[in-house]
Structure 1
Amino acid sequence: MTPSTAHLTTQDVEDIGIELEALRDEVMSSLGEADAEYIRRVIRTQRGLEVAGRVLLLGALFPPAFVAGTASLAVAKILENMEIGHNVLHGQWDWMRDPEIHSTTWEWDHVSTAASWQQTHNYLHHTYTNIHGKDRDIGYNVLRVDPDQPWHPLYLIQTLTNAGLAMIFEWGIAAFDLELDQIQRGEVTWAEKMPEIKKMARKAGKQALKDFVVFPALSGPSFVPAALGGLLANLTRNVWSHAVIFCGHFPVEVETFDEERLEDETQAEWYVRQMLGSANIEGSPLLHIMTGNLSHQIEHHLFPDMPSNHYARIAPQVRDLCRRYGLPYHAGPMWKQYGGVLWKIARLSLPGGHESIEKRRRRGLPTGQIVTDTLRRLRGWAAPTAA
């Protein structure tokens, strides 16, 4: 039990699981042609934007074409990774039995291979969400994002590390997906890991060739600005996906757990852990689509194989469930969520941090209040808030 769940009885937890199972069954049994048309429409839109971007960049020597082409290609890449690729690879659309939109056949516009990403994300992260020693997504092996992570001098520069990671996020994820730390721990040898490394290298090479050589070469004299447009489109996609993912996993209020939590964990207890270990972003329908509906990270972690277009519909029911059982439902606008994450990364670059972050989290202060209090103390505007 954690402080946020100490008031729940065993029966309370099981009742929460029963309600969530019923909600899942209701949605999954209702899937039909309207849902299939939704994902097909999103794919058509994404491909239209990509074609428009590539065509406009053929004339990238002209500033209007360069700007419009880069923007169109960036939006296409965001849609492909977030609302399409991520969700297709979770099996959200496997029920359609369409071989072109299936988790076993889709290969996304990303340097990480679909298979390796499904192993580290679908299996490790979604099974062991926020479990220290099991969920490698806690800090992605390069950042200290939780006070319980041991401090190391390298974390002193993690604000810069995080900024660099945002810009090369897809490459960072690809390296992360290789799980090279298995070699360091002696679990596998370089020889055993090499086939996977070669697959990743081939995929990354194809991506780089497509974006920075083949399509720019088609533009002839516009080669350099066209390649630059492709680079900026990838950079935009990387920074956006980094922000969305960090907002969903690393706000101050989000909880992490020890491995003991897994002992005899029931499905209902797993549901509760997902709710405590995730956070939502509040915003418009357009924001939700551009985040791949990962703005509903709580609902996604509860039901990763549920088609994403249903998350907004069930979110009020999940929020009400949390209210009735006295559980936190972490949600806020993107500026607040991301601001809190950046502050947390800066604070945890220094030793300690457990008391200053954990006590405020347990008191239920919103991220925005924590950031405001910290800034006031730093500027001498007010006395420190009692912890």
Structure 2
Amino acid sequence: MAITDIRAFAHLSENDIEALGHELDQIRTDIENSLGQSDADYIRRVIRVQRGLEVSARLLLFGGRYRVARIAGTVILAAAKVIEMMELGHNISHGQWDWMNDPEIHSTQWEWDFIGPSAQWKRAHNYIHHTYTNVYGKDEDLGFVVSRMTRDEPWRPIHLLQPVTNLLLAASFELAIAVHDLALERQLLGIPRGQLRSKPNTEFARKLARQVCKDFLLFPALSGRRFRHTLTANALALLLRNLWSYLVIMCGHFPDGAEKFTAEQLEDETPGHWYLRQLLGSANFHAGPTLGLLSGNLCYQIEHHLFPDLPSNRYPEIAERVRALCDKYDLPYTTGWLPAQFWLTYRTACKLALPDWLLRHTSHDATETRSERKFHGISLTPDGLTIQEPTDRITGARQGLRAALALTERSRQRTNQQRGRWLRRQRS
């Protein structure tokens, strides 16, 4: 179902995969050697912008008498919370700015404006998710437990509700992530769920109380007679942040082309295989500078999964080199417009709400779940041969996964045409 042999799926030799790994290592080295003042200025500038937006929003909400001021304050507050979560909290907690040795902007010190404690999120996200990206049975972010996003997950009747539960997940995304991280923290430490006074539960409860008091009691109380308006604005800003972060995260992991893997793939996995798995298991979406900032530069999710601890402002230049490597090794570089990527993601959630026997494609050859077995028994060239040579005899171009996928699609179209002609002859 999911990929068990990444080498066979990618149509690359072991030497190709190791060479790809070395070239990606070189990108890391080049970026690390070029980090300097401009990068430090960037993150400090983002912090100033984010804090300025939040102060402006609070002033509008505290002092604005008219509805337009409250609306503007709500939107600006949502933008401030989005930037704090995506570009600051997420990326600083990845250690992207630890090289600066600035105690304020360091992964060990930064506590973000989020229900869950940063330490719990870092262990669940930085270690488990980024180590085992899209590996079924290892990466708990693969559907956040409540969603079926690969056919490897056995279908249950509860999955029929997925089209609705995914919308509920989007609205409560912050809480869902925090509870998910807490459960993994207890699991890692071997703490039973019923042990209510455990350290993870206590840390979570303290952070939850602090966030609830700040957003739903303190700031509304400071606004005096406008308590209700400020409370509503805070709730709407948090809702907008939840919806936006859900959109960005889901579009980076679950559109067509973001592959899934089985635990077998982890056996004897080399750094080159790990790089290849990150590249094939992630997806980007098109974005300019503003959308890039609001998404924490996770519009470059491929580059983030390849280099999660490199500064996010360098992802655009890294992306150019990664795309060139994909061309060189004939690998797909999965990207698209944000609405299209979200449609593909939500379509998968709706499709996998159904049991497999109601779905058209096989479990090895579907857009959301495919493996190296999709190429078995399919003629990839007009003469019925599969790709056996690393380069095309005529053009000299490398033949990798992109060539295999293109030839497979042509073979399917040819088969459908032949079936159509046969049906027409039967009718006549």
TM-score (norm 2): 0.82
Tell me the equivalent position of 1:375.
none
Q: Which amino acid aligns with 2:41?
A: E
CA distance in structure 2 between the aligned counterparts of 1:3 and 1:25, rounded to whole angstroms: 25
* C-alpha deviation, 1:55, in angstroms: 1.2
- Structure 2 residue 262 is the aligned partner of structure 1 residue 267: no
Structure 2 CA distance, aligned partners of 1:181 and 1:154? 26
Give ranges in structure 2 of 5+ residues lacking alignment: 375-401, 410-428
Residue in structure 2 matched with residue 355 of structure 1 by the alignment: 361
| SS of aligned partner of 1:282 | coil
Aligned mates of 2:285, 2:109 — CA distance in 1: 30
The question of 1:215 aligning with 2:219 is answered yes
Note if 1:23 corresponds to 2:27: yes
Alignment partner, residue 95 of structure 1: 99
Q: After superposition, where does 1:121-270 map in structure 2 within 5 Å?
A: 121-179=125-183, 187-189=190-192, 190-191=194-195, 194-270=198-274
- The CA distance in 1 between the partners of 2:112 and 2:290, in whole Å, is 22
For 1:64, the equivalent position in structure 2 comes to 68
Contact kept, 8 Å, 1:244 with 1:295, in 2: the verdict is yes
AA paired with 1:29? N
Q: Which has the larger radius of gyration?
A: 2
Question: Residue in 1 aligned with 2:419?
Answer: none
Residue identity matched to 1:290: L
Alignment size in residue pairs = 367
CA distance in 2: counterparts of 1:320 and 1:38, whole angstroms: 26
Aligned to 1:281: 285
CA distance in 1, matches of 2:67, 2:318: 44
Matched residues in 1 for 2:242 and 2:10: separation? 39
Query: CA offset at residue 187 of structure 1?
Result: 4.4
Instruction: Give 3-state SS (helix, strand or coil) of 2:285's partner.
Output: strand
Which residue does 1:33 correspond to in 2?
37
Quick check: 2:191–2:198 contact (8 Å CA) kept in 1? no
Q: Is the 8 A contact 2:185 2:200 kept in 1?
A: no
Identity of aligned residues (%): 49
Equivalent residue, structure 1, for 2:89? 85
What amino acid sits opposite 1:178 in the alignment? Answer: L
Task: Give me the whole-angstrom Cα distance separating, in 1, the residues matched to 2:258 and 2:65.
Answer: 47
Letter in 1 for 2:191: V
CA shift, 1:357, in A, is 7.4
Distance 2:184 2:96 in 1: 29
**Does the CA contact (< 8 Å) of 1:124 and 1:135 recur in 2?**
yes
Post-superposition offset of 1:192: 7.9
Q: 1:315 aligns with which of 308, 315, 319?
A: 319
**Aligned pair partner of 1:74 in 57, 63, 78:** 78
Q: Distance in 1 between matches of 2:200 and 2:189?
A: 17
Instruction: Name the SS for the 2:336 alignment partner.
Output: strand
**C-alpha RMSD of matched pairs (Å):** 2.3
Cα displacement (A) at 1:65: 1.5
SS at the partner of 1:100? helix
| Cα distance between partner residues in 1 of 2:158 and 2:25 | 43
Deviations 1:256-282 (A, max 9, x none): 111111111111110000001000011
* Residue 58 to residue 348, structure 1, CA distance change in 2 (3 Å): same
Quickly say closer, same or farther: Cα 1:229–1:328, change in 2 above 3 A: same
